[in-house]
A and B are shown apart, each in its own frame.
Chain A
């Protein structure tokens, strides 16, 4: 199970599609204006990723290398169509807001990237978990960026959540500031670039701190054993 644990950590943190691989920027930057938009597209992408990884893994022994990419894209496109129709049926307003970015999930590099780099070489369960975790990692960053831009841009949080969770969620909106006049920069695309840059910088700072803390801990440990380690690395 150590393998699965690594897949989870990879997807959520150390190989996060948004902050480390910097893939799928187009939807990430375009629809992260509010939390509800981010959540809607994030969930859709996550579902497609998990589904496509599982399907690709199932057929991985029957598809030759030469035609693998078209085959993968067909699978992804089919799944995206399903998601799109589901959103059209159940969350029609959100479907209209997200617009072209739902069908564009097909071209999201993360989806095809994971299908080719991971799912086509691994069994179904790890492939599925990899897809789900990569999707979750993407979703978390999308949500963070959405919250950041919504708070700075409009001074609200969780506005229009009824688009995704039904009428009962219409009261979820939090107004953080009285008479906030709005900060248009955060709502516009350049704000998304700066916001994502800050998130990536924040992740790198945390990574650096963790590394330093680990090094200190390692240095502090008394060297009791005199035996020479011959395999693996001292973590």
Chain B
């Protein structure tokens, strides 16, 4: 009897290949990008376009040096995803060179030097982001006050590095503000940015938009619910009890869930299929620990937001998590792991 043997992954259906999946992820970021543009001006779109061009060029260059099929690997859209996620994460006021350095590092060092798509232990976009954050802290914290969206010409000027009075064009984010004034009830009450409808002003819409995109991804079966649920549960598990103990010092759970990069990270960044844990339990643990770390670093760490650090730290732990959460194969005993005899 002749059996058809197909090497995994079993892609028999049409349109069931990497490129198609990645395109769906790109579509899912659209609401978030739209809200970012609406709130903060065209900076995000300009940087995003530039980042995509840089990503494709550097990816093509490295593929050529490595002697790989350029057209085949570019059509999997993974470089575009990296560029888009990084461009979303950096402030819309970023000059062109910031995007250039971040994207180049993400594609060349964090992805291609490890062997390209599928081989990178760390999320490339987050490696690029952390590189920029520790190297250029001033540029990386220049966010725009919500509802003071820059005009197209201002955004272009900022992009080309022609900055007059930067301080007039930028404002602290809700997480920044909370970080500065945590524990001071009067100040916390006097900053309108902390008092939006759900969470921090403006940022609540960004997070809701990414939540919407993320739910679309789950509905389409592009990602499973385990990692996002884990992340949100992790944030909630830390934020809720501490907020109940002292609501002046610790932000409320909704504030943490709908501020900064929580939703973007939970649905789009932590779910990177290459660098995340793979088994169901593993994904839950992976996501939960990211959520816990996000809260811990936001509250006690040196930076106002922590998604990038949390994801990278858990990327590092993903192989270990996978090792201990390997599912039992039907008909076999559970695998013996670690010191358990």
Which of A's residues lie within 8 Å of B, judged by CB?
181, 183-185, 188, 194
Q: How many A-B residue pairs have CB under 8 A?
A: 12
Q: How far is the CA of A188 from the CA of B134 in the complex (A)?
A: 9
**Which residues of B (116-174) have their CB < 8 Å from a CB of A?**
131, 134-137
Q: How far is the CA of A185 from the CA of B128 in the complex (A)?
A: 11
Cβ-based interface call for B248 (8 A):
no
User: Which A residue sits closest to B132, measured CB to CB?
Assistant: A185
Whether B109 lies near A183 (C-beta < 8 A) is no
Q: How far is the CA of A181 from the CA of B136 in the complex (A)?
A: 9
The residues of A that contact B134 with a CB separation of less than 8 Å are 184-185, 188
Task: Please name 10 further chain A to chain B contacts, defined as beta carbons within 8 Å, in addition to the given A185-B134, A188-B134, sorted by A numbering.
Answer: A181-B136, A183-B101, A183-B135, A184-B134, A184-B135, A184-B136, A184-B137, A185-B131, A185-B135, A194-B109
Which of B's residues lie within 8 Å of A, judged by CB?
101, 109, 131, 134-137
Q: List 6 A-B contacts (CB under 8 A).
A: A181-B136, A183-B135, A184-B137, A185-B131, A185-B135, A188-B134
The residues of A that contact B136 with a CB separation of less than 8 Å are 181, 184
The residues of A that contact B131 with a CB separation of less than 8 Å are 185
Q: How far is the CA of A146 from the CA of B151 in the complex (A)?
A: 44
Q: How far is the CA of A181 from the CA of B137 in the complex (A)?
A: 12
Of all A-B residue pairs in the complex, the 4 with the closest CB atoms, nearest first, are A185-B135, A184-B135, A183-B135, A185-B131
The residues of B that contact A185 with a CB separation of less than 8 Å are 131, 134-135
Separation in Å of the B245 CB from the closest CB of chain A?
36
The residues of B that contact A188 with a CB separation of less than 8 Å are 134
Q: How far is the CA of A185 from the CA of B134 in the complex (A)?
A: 7
Q: How far is the CA of A194 from the CA of B134 in the complex (A)?
A: 15
Separation in Å of the B185 CB from the closest CB of chain A?
36
The residues of A that contact B109 with a CB separation of less than 8 Å are 194
User: Which B residue sits closest to A201, measured CB to CB?
Assistant: B113
Q: How far is the CA of A117 from the CA of B327 in the complex (A)?
A: 48
